[in-house]
Amino acid sequence: MSTPKHSRPARRSGSPGRTKLVLSGVVVTLAIVGAVLWFVRPSGGGAPVSLNDVERRGQILYRANCASCHGTSGQGQVNWQSARPDGTRPAPPHDVTGHTWHHADAVLFGIVKEGGAYAAPPGYAATMPGFKASMTDQQIIEVLTYVKTIWGPKERQYQSSMSEMGPFPSDAQR
């Protein structure tokens, strides 16, 4: 600590001092690369952290209208698979553990627009409200486009092939 710098023998490239410097440069570079990989890593079912414009608008809609029941990361409510004593059901997850990804776009669109009774058996005690009074068709498509980012590639691929037979309505009002 107290040795003055000038008392050391002069060092050329390749000396231990230089090696140390290069090594710490490598460590810093690795730390940066690691941090970047951490931020872009898949989370949940493989949700990419970088969203496109439509997905970002959908995320805002999701947080405002859906997250209170379905969870911020689409995890759903506890015991969602069991009906309550009154016949109602907790909100199911939208992540890979649920079955939102089993449904074609047309069905998902109908559920969000009309509510939980859409495509359910008669007499089903639905509690999810329909959003047709508060969201445009385009916003419904945006929120569902965001929900798809919660899935992994396998779920996305399956759901997209399901949707060939049941796409979003082509006359969706913008």
- Please give the residue ranges that form the binding site for ligand HEC (CB under 6 A): 65-66, 68-70, 89, 91-92, 98-100, 103, 108, 111-112, 116, 126-128, 131, 143
Task: Kindly state the smallest distance separating residue 49's Cβ from ligand HEC, in Å.
Answer: 20
Task: Kindly state the smallest distance separating residue 122's Cβ from ligand HEC, in Å.
Answer: 14
Q: How far is CA 1 from CA 4, 5, 23, 70, 95, in A?
A: 8, 10, 21, 59, 56
Closer to ligand HEC by CB, 3 or 151: give it: 151
The CB-nearest residue to ligand HEC is 116
Closer to ligand HEC by CB, 26 or 64: give it: 64
> Amino acid letter at 55?
E
Closer to ligand HEC by CB, 29 or 97: give it: 97
Spell out the residues 6+ positions from residue 151 whose beta carbon is closer than 8 angstroms to its own: 45, 46, 47, 95, 96, 101, 159
Strand partners, 47: 43
Structure tokens at 87: 């016949």
